[in-house]
Amino acid sequence: MVGNVAEVMAELEPADFYLLSGVEQGMRFSEWVNREKLPEYADLTEEEVDYRIDRCADRGLIQRKTIQYEGYQLTFEGYDALALRTFAERETISGMGAPLGVGKESDVYEVESFRPFALKFHREGYTNFREVRKGRDYTADNHHVSWQYTARKAAEREYGALEDLYPQVSVPRPVDHNRHAIIMEKLPGPELADAKLQSEQVVGVLDLVLREVDAAYRAGYVHADISEYNVAVSDDGVVIFDWPQSVETDHENADELLTRDVENLVGYFHRKYPRETPDVDTDAVAAAVADGEFESVRAVDEPGA
């Protein structure tokens, strides 16, 4: 787990951020930034670079490695600090709150603003960078790709999808974006996996989720990784979140991914609510969505209908 950098933000001085920004710039060209390049990248003197390296390293914001040269790299905490400073300068947020969720590919925190929002730090590539590179379109054509680039592109992809989808589709309202971080509305309720639906609610909630899948398709997107862990449920309805891996409907695999999303959803309901969930022809549901004809699972609840 990446540490919460908020507790050290107040200790940092403007020149510390010059050093962090210099390392960030250098990481565009190499995984480990040559110490000799840092005065140029950070616009600091040699002596100031040495001082700032010690301060940032002591706070876990950069790390050092000796290869053929003395090299430095941002940690995720260092990258977080740069994003938080930008959000603070824009007055998007005024403070950090408690963690809302921690996963392999993101950390989410409550943040203070004119009302509470959620801040999502993308962590793609932090634990398994090679697998993320192979699996994500936005890294496919780049020779030098760092975890920093991968996480930033994931955030860009997700924020762009949210901007395109909201408010036609029930997704978190996007508020701001910088580097690998997104500010958005907090989820209105628990994940579907943690919700306890009453018998009479099961089919209705399944229909609500599939209607949002349909609405997203009408807006030009397939989620491509939907499950019980990225659907929030509340008295007001459902919200579908986590869109970095989404594809546009003209993608060559869009319909295949749509079918997989439907299978994942229906499969979850069958496992958790086997008595209440009708038999559903998932291929027929996906085809109805793709054709703009989806109404409800009851309309296609007999396999082969």
In degrees, rounded to 5, the angle at the alpha carbon of residue 143 between the alpha carbons of residues 139 and 148 is 55
Residues 6+ away with beta carbon under 8 Å from 274: none
**Residue 25 neighbours by CB distance under 10 Å:** 15
As a whole number of angstroms, the distance between CA 266 and CA 43 comes to 56
CA distances from 119 to 5, 112, 152, 162, 177 (A): 13, 10, 14, 14, 9
As a whole number of angstroms, the distance between CA 85 and CA 91 comes to 10
Answer whether 171's CB lies under 8 Å from 215's CB: no
CA atoms in the 13 A half-sphere facing the CB of 272: 20
Query: With 0-12 CB in 10 A as exposed, 13-18 as middle and 19+ as buried, what is 225?
Result: middle
As a whole number of angstroms, the distance between CA 41 and CA 72 comes to 12
Catalytically annotated residue among 225, 255, 283, 301:
225
As a whole number of angstroms, the distance between CA 33 and CA 74 comes to 9
236 is a catalytic site residue: no
Please list the active-site residues. Answer: 225
